[in-house]
Amino acid sequence: MTANDLISVKDAGLQLGKRKQTIFKFIKRLDIDVKKRRDSASKNQFVAYITEADLERIKEEISLRVAKLEDESQVSSGYAETDEMGVFYLIQLEPDHDSGRFKVGFAVNMPDRLRAHRCAAPFSKVVKKWPCKRLWEKTAIDCITSTCERLHTEVYRSQSLDEIIKKADEFFNLMPQVEKAK
Query: Do 15 and 93 fall within a single domain?
Result: no
The pLDDT score that the predictor gives to residue 13 is: 87
In a domain, 77, yes or no: no
Q: How confident is the model at residue 180 (pLDDT cuts 50, 70, 90)?
A: low
The pLDDT score that the predictor gives to residue 112 is: 86
CB atoms within 10 A of CB 147: 12
Q: pLDDT at residue 74 above 50? A: no
Q: pLDDT at residue 168 above 50? A: yes
The pLDDT score that the predictor gives to residue 82 is: 54
Task: Quote the domain boundaries for residue 90.
Answer: 83-174
Q: Which of 83, 126, 87, 125 is nearest to 105 (CA)?
A: 87
Query: Do 165 and 96 fall within a single domain?
Result: yes
Query: Do 55 and 102 fall within a single domain?
Result: no
In a domain, 182, yes or no: no
Cα torsion for 23, 7, 33, 79, to the nearest 10°? 10
51-62 pLDDT tens trace? 989 999 998 888
Least confident of 8-12, 78-82, 140-144: 78-82
In a domain, 31, yes or no: yes
In a domain, 78, yes or no: no
Query: Do 90 and 163 fall within a single domain?
Result: yes
Q: Which residue has the higher pLDDT, 39 or 163?
A: 163
Beta bridge partners of 127: none
Percent of the chain topping pLDDT 90: 47
Q: pLDDT at residue 66 above 60? A: yes
Query: Do 60 and 107 fall within a single domain?
Result: no
The pLDDT score that the predictor gives to residue 61 is: 86
The pLDDT score that the predictor gives to residue 44 is: 83
Name the pTM for this structure.
0.56
The C-alpha atoms of residue 125 and residue 101 are separated, in whole angstroms, by 11
pLDDT averaged over every residue in the chain: 85
In a domain, 180, yes or no: no
User: Residue 47 belongs to a domain with what CATH number?
Assistant: 1.10.1660
Query: Do 162 and 87 fall within a single domain?
Result: yes
DSSP label at residue 21 = H
The C-alpha atoms of residue 81 and residue 5 are separated, in whole angstroms, by 29
In a domain, 76, yes or no: no
The pLDDT score that the predictor gives to residue 1 is: 52
Query: Parallel, antiparallel, or unpaired for β 98-107 and 155-157?
Result: antiparallel
